[in-house]
Amino acid sequence: MAEASNPIFLRPLTSPDADIGQAVAFGPEHPLALDAGVTLSPFTVAYMTYGTLNAARSNAVLVCHALTGDQFAASQNPITGKPGWWNTLIGPGKPIDTDRFFVVCANVLGGCMGTTGPAETDPATGQPFGLSFPLVTIRDMVRAQAMLLDTLGIEKVLCVIGGSMGGMQVLQWAASYPDRVVSAIPIACAARHSAQNIAFHEVGRQAIIADPEWCEGAYYLQGRQPSKGLAVARMAAHITYLSEAALQRKFGRSLQNRDVVSFGFGPDFQIESYLHHQGLTFVDRFDANTYLYITRAMDYFDLAADYGGVLAEAFRDSETRFCIISFTSDWLFPTVGNKHVAHALNAAGANVSFVEIETDKGHDAFLLDEPEMFATVRGFLNSVAAHQGVK
Amino acid sequence: MSALRPDLAAIAEMIPEGARVLDVGCGDGALLEHLAATKRVDGRGLELSQQNVNACVARGLPVVQGDADTDLVDYPAQIFDVAILSQTIQATRSPSKVLKHLLRIGRLTAVSFPNFGHWRIRLGLLARGRMPQTRTLDYPWHETPNIHLCTIADFIALADESGAVVQRALALGEDGRTRPMQSRAWGPNLFAEGAIFLLRSKDAN
């Protein structure tokens, strides 16, 4: 049995002592066989829980985080001091009601908030992994989560939910462990990463790699950090999380602290200043190598490819109930990709609901105050809980 | 639970206990909810309106937002015991294709529609020379979603062309009651406000 422990972690360089919540260390007797063909051992999974597991162990909800998310879904983030990234959705009386459900959220494999990733120390060398960390996939992340649930004594989860890369993990969970997943809510995602999305990720990665502070990924011990590259990666990615309409509504062509343009290259426009802020705050909480590894994991995601190219085969005979949610203005994971999953589930005869929510907030909508999304999640989860006899 | 619309009640009565059902154009899910509660039906819905879909899902009904004209092609053959199309066929762009898909997807297909051959409609056009507006079809011609209205006789012809066999035929009267009808007789086509058909495909075994 793996043991819970509190090892010392290498945090993003600016916050080396941040709290990482709870953690399970998987020793040599619990290796993790990765898709890359290598084994990761030992390794650690850091996680948070909210609510109480009932006696029947039937009320667990697994929350999967997105690319730059972490395990602090519903509690204050120890690095930023901000509320949990899904504080609007998870909590007492909220759609994922922690008075009723036991919520588990783990930092993904390759992450930088306590789960083993490129910033952690490689026990074989005593040095940070850097680029010697193996490439991980969405399926590897899910395998690690399954091992965590084993340790927590949770055989079956009432629901797996997540948006964006979290949604990819949800689909992978339903495909890899159909008997462990009573219901699944993949939000704003797709069964495979598109060429356009891979392209945006590559721009971000190249920005990091081009930063001289990156040092071939070995910046940790030199007290350096490719902050500029990582900030540019974040800025480019952040544009893809919004919509043209939302940018126009929020910023338009408004100037920042000035009445006329400067005829220079400073941040004249509010949108520039906003993006700079996004980039700057991001590097304080995120590891650049983790960004490389996790974007790669998303790029490699193609669920149908593991099932002879037929997505429906991934869900054959599935008894999981699905609720797929997309947003009208999301051009990163547009409705058509979400609907493609719904159609595959229909073709497999699975029990599926699909809701498209009207909003101009783009991909980010899944993290924001979207009453229709809250009502959908609440209604769906209530009906699943009632069906399973969870009070 | 409020009372079901008469045509939905008639369809509900045709559905076997515990059947797998697809309700195309399920609206707010009233029929699906009724069937789940009274007949332990494993029901699914397809609905165009986002508000309706959200309302269904929030009530725990498995409903997919989509368009009957484009999305039925994705459903495999014969995966449902009954495919339902209630008061929807007249609003589709291609009623013939939609009906063929339903006959393929469901072992049985239940269709209800307003009868454009009803005497009030015929008289309205004859007497006033204007496109008819009635209690059940209460839209001016330029606003109506009902772009492919038909009479009972028209529907029979389409069913024949589509290779459908009529299992049951009900006439919906002005009093909101349903009665078995001789679907090919002239009477129902003149006096029924609507009709409900239970069909199966000739090709299916």
Same domain, A188 and A257: no
Give the model's pLDDT for residue B73. 87
Whether pLDDT at B56 is above 70 = yes
> Strands A32-33, A39-40: parallel, antiparallel or unpaired by DSSP?
antiparallel
pLDDT band at B58, cuts 50/70/90? Answer: confident
| pLDDT value of position B204 | 66
What's the pLDDT score for residue B74?
A: 81
Residue predicted with more confidence, A31 or B183 = A31
pLDDT at A21 over 60: yes
Residue B63 dihedral angles phi and psi, to the nearest 5°:
-130, 140
CATH for A91: 3.40.50.1820
Range of the domain at A330: 3-193+304-388
Mean pLDDT value across chain A: 93
Gap between the Cα atoms of A320 and A315, Å rounded: 9
Same-domain check for residues A123 and A8: yes
User: Which positions ≥6 away from A336 have C-beta within 8 Å?
Assistant: none
Helix axes A288-300, A138-151, angle to 10 degrees: 100
Whether B113 and B146 have beta carbons less than 8 Å apart is answered as no
Contacts of B51 (CB under 8 A, 6+ apart): none
Same domain? For A178 and A309 the reply is yes
Residue A353 has pLDDT above 90, yes or no: yes
pLDDT band at A11 (very low <50, low <70, confident <90, very high): very low
pLDDT at A16: 57
Segment among A13-17, A168-172, A190-194 with least mean pLDDT:
A13-17
Q: Homologous superfamily of B6-116+147-201 in CATH? A: Vaccinia Virus protein VP39 (3.40.50.150)
A354 close to B (CB below 8 A):
yes
DSSP string, B51-79: HHHHHHHHTT--EEE--HHHHGGGSPTT-
Q: Which of B44, B58, B76 lies closest to A376 in CB terms?
A: B58
Does A146 contact chain B (CB < 8 Å)? no
| Region B114-121 average pLDDT | 95
3 state SS of A332: coil
Considering only CB atoms, which chain A residues are within 8 Å of B81?
Answer: none
Test B64 with A352 for CB contact under 8 angstroms.
Answer: yes
Instruction: Please give the Cα distance from B101 to B112 (Å, whole number).
Output: 16
pLDDT mean over A31-44: 97
Q: What percent of chain B has pLDDT over 70?
A: 98
Q: Number of helices (H) and strands (E), helices first, in chain B?
A: 8, 8
Domain count within chain A:
2
pLDDT, tens only, A180-205: 999 999 999 999 999 999 999 999 99
- Structure-model confidence comparison of residues A297 and A266, the more confident one: A297
The answer to whether residue A240 scores a pLDDT higher than 70 is yes
- A337 vs A341: CA distance, rounded Å: 7
For chain B, the structural domain boundaries read 6-116+147-201
User: What CATH number does the domain containing A215 carry?
Assistant: 1.10.1740.110
Clarify whether residues A216 and A237 are in a common domain: yes
Taking a C-beta distance cutoff of 8 angstroms, is the pair A295, A67 a contact?
Answer: yes
pLDDT tens digits for A283-326? 989 999 999 999 999 999 999 999 999 999 999 889 999 999 99
Assess contact for B31 and B84: CB atoms under 8 A. Answer: yes
For position A17, what pLDDT does the model report? 65
Measured CA angle at A190 (ends A184, A195), to 5 deg: 165
For residue A288, give both structure tokens.
């650049």
Residues A202 and A150 in one domain: no
CB < 8 Å to A379, chain B:
57-60
Q: How confident is the model at residue A15 (pLDDT cuts 50, 70, 90)?
A: low
Query: Of A13-22, A148-157, A211-220, A262-271, which range is least confident?
Result: A13-22
Chain B contact for A386 (CB, 8 A cutoff): yes
Three-state secondary-structure class, residue A257? coil
Q: Mind listing the pLDDT tens digit for each residue in B127-143? A: 999 998 888 888 999 99
pLDDT on residue A245: 95
Interface test with B, best of A353, A372, A384 (most B CBs within 10 A): A353
Q: Which residues of B touch A352 (CB under 8 A)?
A: 44, 62, 64
A96: helix, strand or coil: strand
A344 SS3 class: helix
Nearest-CB residue to B63 (from A347, A353, A384): A353
Q: Are A271 and A320 members of one domain?
A: no
Active-site annotation of A, residues: 164, 330, 363
Q: Which H/E stretch holds residue A227?
A: helix A227-241
Residue A183 and residue A226 share a domain: no
Please indicate whether, in this complex, the C-beta atoms of A355 and B50 are within 8 angstroms of each other.
yes
Asked if A101 and A165 sit in the same domain, the reply is yes
Domain end call among A295, A314, A344:
A295
- Summarize the confidence of residues B84-95 as an average pLDDT: 96
How far is Cα of residue B76 from the mean position of the Cα atoms in its chain? Answer: 20
Mean pLDDT, rounded, for B19-43: 95
- Which residues on chain B are in Cβ contact (under 8 Å) with A384? 60
pLDDT (mean) for B5-30: 95
- Quick check: A8 pLDDT over 80? no
Name residue B164's beta-bridge partners.
Answer: B201
Parallel, antiparallel or unpaired: strands B106-114 and B42-47? unpaired
> Residue for token digits 């910023």?
A251
Q: What percent of chain A has pLDDT over 90?
A: 89
A257 and A153 within one domain? no
Alpha-carbon distance A184 to nearest alpha carbon in chain B (angstroms): 13
Residues A165 and A116 in one domain: yes
Average pLDDT over every residue of B116-131: 94
Residue A170: which H helix or E strand, with range? helix A165-176
Residue B162 to residues A342, B67, B89, B92, B155, Cα–Cα distance (Å): 28, 20, 14, 16, 10
Are A246 and A344 in a shared domain?
Answer: no
3-state secondary structure A125-164: CCEECHHHCCCCCHHHHHHHHHHHHHHCCCCCECEEEEEC
Q: Which residues contact A237 (CB under 8 A, 6 or more apart)?
A: A67, A200, A201, A204
For range B70-86, the mean pLDDT = 91
Would you state the pLDDT for residue A328?
96
Residue A350 with chain B: CB contacts under 8 Å: none
Residues paired with A4 in a beta bridge: A24
Q: Is the same domain home to A217 and A230?
A: yes
Task: State how far the Cα of B197 lies from the Cα of B185, in Å rounded to an integer.
Answer: 15
Over residues A140-147, mean pLDDT: 98
State residue B11's pLDDT score: 96
A123 preceded by cis ω (within 30°)? no
3-state secondary structure A172-222: HHHHHCHHHECEEEEECCCCECCHHHHHHHHHHHHHHHCCHHHHHHCCHHH
Interface contacts A/B by beta carbons within 8 Å: 65
CB contact under 8 A, A347 and B76: yes
